[in-house]
Structure 1
Amino acid sequence: MERDKLLAIETHRLTKTYQGLGGCREISLAVPQGAVFGLLGPNGAGKSTLVKMLVGLLQPTSGEANILGKSIRDAASRQKVGFLPENFRYHDWLTGEDLLRFHASLFKLPAREINQRIAEVLDMIGLTEHRHKRVGNYSKGMQQRIGLGCALLPDPELIFLDEPTSALDPIGRKVVRDLIANLQQQGKTVFINSHLLSELESICDHIAIIKEGNLLFQGNWRELTQRQVRVKIVLGRLGEGKNLAEVLPSQYQVLSHQVTDIKGRDEYLLGCSSEEDIPYLVNSLTVVGYPIFEITQVTDSLEKIFLDYVSNPGWEGR
């Protein structure tokens, strides 16, 4: 089917429960090829259960799923998949290079390609200078990066990353963000499970939110922020007896109002239907005589959208 060619992951009512409890229930996802897809949810929401089903570590209770066009019940579906689990332990006595060489043998990479591929991966994760150091002597951040290197060895088309930046310092996180952006430019799909919403906000457009095993939202989260344009504006006062609502054109709504710390100025949050309304707003207030000290378009963060969903079931960005 043509639709299958456009999806890296497709699930239909995928379910995993433990004696009827926990896990996740009837998850139907559609992850586009080439997307950086973020999976969000509180602790215990079923995120790890879902990922483990997709990579073949758990068998579903019911439902179906395809990975790169093949059923997850078919081992061939995982030939072009890389996976970095959240809690992993590698052989402390091996050097970083030896660990990658061991994993290259597990992936059955051709012998003539192994040296070149290891060098490429070490360069990608920034550990070339530490290739001969034992993994047991690596910092937590370096161990996280060598784990990422193991996932990238087979040059996968789909990469699952479970909390990939949790142990990294700011420099290490930037390395991983840049690497993910590079993978996307190559047309690869990256599926990330993370609690660091600020990290996901900078690299993910498509997300899914699950809570208590149920899917609450999936899609392009940035579209939720565009349903209503909101503008913060700080104004001086016209004089006694005059207020903004009386002179404001009908296409604008006053969502909130507060007095600022600066005497004689008020801060308003206004709603309108389009960005094109903003210049007209400035012109309208100027004509009336309002002094304008600040105007800023307000956009919801991914964190706010996430909290709205998990705190208020049925919320749809309105």
Structure 2
Amino acid sequence: MRKTYHRAFGRGGHEALRGMDLVVPAGSAFGLIGPNGAGKTTFIKSVLGIVRPTAGTVRVLGGSPEDPAIRARIGYLPERLHLPGTWKSPAFLATVARLKGLKPDAPGLLRLLERVGLSDAVDRRIGGYSKGMRQRLGLAAALLGDPALLVLDEPTDGIDPMGRLEVRRILQEEVRRGVTLFLNSHLLAETERVCDRVAILADGRVLREGRLEDLARGGARWRVRFAPGAQASALEAAGFVPVGAPASESKGAPGLLVEGAPAEGVYVVDAADVTVLNAALDRARASGALLVDLRREGADLEAVLLGAVGSPGVAA
């Protein structure tokens, strides 16, 4: 698929999508990541039928995104959410339900507001809601009618950490229900926790796509722990580099290193294959070091993104 935004009077234009080819499996939790200007917003608008591709075809839920019957099966939370400040949340959801061709169900709307954590704010005007509360209300609107596809653009923006846990739980419940989740977020940690597949988009093209565990696998780095008493100088001479303590030991975030908090006996070593790894371990043992733990390191989503885009200054 291609999408070019033409300038006035045909004076050139900007090619936002350049031959993009992407299939999102039904029932998956799919994340789209990439640098600013990569074409993510244009792609989402194409999925929703807001913009038409210059070339190629978009198929959503087996049909055209411009088909009203298809649109009725999609729940959407935009990045920039505009809500009527003088309204109250039940009235807003009732109006959205009518626009979707649904018959408003007052008890059902209240249950939905309770599900997103807004049951205590139903009598307040939306203008007095915080940004996080507005995001919750937008999520509730997207969930109306039990959609088959949820397209969420920055769903946890402005929501506090506890609220993110609640939103994550709701999204996981929807995926278990069989919903296809399409998530666009610059919060890579949230994408990792929610999605099982991701696509990396840059300069209007998909650079990498697949299961998150497959994209993060295949690194040549190993984490090694030696018993106390090992000679640090001998280990470093053998190719082992001391690292900080894993944040998972104190903060519950696996794989993140906390600089300035050294972990005794913990090192990493780069080895292209097991032969190189065993040679390094043999040198360590020869110095008297005793191996306690050995595990292969997987890259986090930020490392996968930077590795694909190739620019350390990129912002998702």
2:124, 2:108 → 1: CA distance? 19
Q: Deviations over 1:66-85 (max 9, x none)?
A: 11111224333212001100
Partner of 2:133: 142
Shift in Å at residue 226 of structure 1? 2.5
Change (3 A) 1:257 1:128: closer
Task: From the two aligned structures, give the one with the greater strand fraction.
Answer: 1
1:16 is the counterpart of 2:3:
yes
1:150, 1:119 → 2: CA distance? 12
Change (3 A) 1:243 1:109: closer
Change (3 A) 1:120 1:233: same
Q: Report the AA paired with residue 306 of structure 2.
A: L
Match of 1:174 among 157, 165, 168: 165
Match of 2:37 among 44, 55, 65: 44
2:87, 2:273 → 1: CA distance? 59
Tell me if structure 1 keeps the 8 A contact 2:223–2:266: no
Match of 1:129 among 103, 106, 120: 120
Shift in Å at residue 265 of structure 1? 6.7
Shift in Å at residue 175 of structure 1? 1.1
Tell me if structure 1 keeps the 8 A contact 2:219–2:299: no
What TM-score do the two structures reach when normalised by structure 1? 0.79
Partner of 1:249: none
Match of 1:108 among 88, 93, 101: 101
Match of 1:72 among 65, 75, 82: 65
SS in structure 1 opposite 2:59?
strand
1:242, 1:137 → 2: CA distance? 60
Change (3 A) 1:150 1:295: same
Change (3 A) 1:87 1:292: same
Partner of 2:47: 54
Change (3 A) 1:197 1:76: same
Change (3 A) 1:165 1:270: same
Change (3 A) 1:229 1:101: same
1:183, 1:205 → 2: CA distance? 14
Percent identity reads 34
Q: Deviations over 1:273-293 (max 9, x none)?
A: 68xxx99x9899769842336
SS in structure 2 opposite 1:190?
strand
2:235, 2:26 → 1: CA distance? 55
Match of 2:184 among 183, 193, 208: 193
2:283, 2:36 → 1: CA distance? 48
1:311 is the counterpart of 2:302:
no
Tell me if structure 2 keeps the 8 A contact 1:232–1:270: no
Q: Report the AA paired with residue 267 of structure 1.
A: Y
What TM-score do the two structures reach when normalised by structure 2? 0.79
Tell me if structure 2 keeps the 8 A contact 1:228–1:271: no
Partner of 1:251: none
Q: Deviations over 1:125-150 (max 9, x none)?
A: 11112112110011111011001111
Tell me if structure 1 keeps the 8 A contact 2:88–2:125: yes
